[in-house]
Amino acid sequence: MEEKDVVRLLGALAQEHRLRVFRALVVTGPAGLTPGVIAEGTGLAPATLSFHLKELVNSGLVTQERQGRHLIYRPSFEHMNSLLAYLTQNCCQGKACLEPAAACDC
């Protein structure tokens, strides 16, 4: 993953409503959620939710699929995992990250 991609993904999550929506989708998993269910769970107005979903889809962190009359939004675990891998690459200079902080020379 390139730095510009990381910045784009982090930028999409750097807003509290989008972060809340993304986390709700991650908790739900591959089954995804409809906008109505997301709105109920997050308390966002439909127009506000639509704007934030569009931003998440444009970033690649969320996918959208039409099932009949409904739209289903799902997290892109591939993009999420790539972002996490980039952020934790070379973590603790190769030492086990679960060691107590006192044991780390960081």
Q: Which residue segments constitute the domains of the chain, with CATH numbers given?
A: 3-88 (1.10.10.10)
Provide the strand spans (E) within the chain.
62-67, 70-75
Quote the CA–CA distance of 84 and 95 in Å, as a whole number: 18
- The pTM (predicted TM-score) of the whole model is 0.84
- Between residues 102 and 86, the one the model is more confident about: 86
Residue 88 CB-density burial (10 A; 0-12 exposed, 13-18 middle, 19+ buried): exposed
Structure tokens at 3: 């730095």
Quick one: pLDDT band at residue 38, thresholds 50, 70, 90? very high
Instruction: Quick: pLDDT tens for 57-100.
Output: 999 999 999 999 999 999 999 999 999 999 988 777 767 666 55
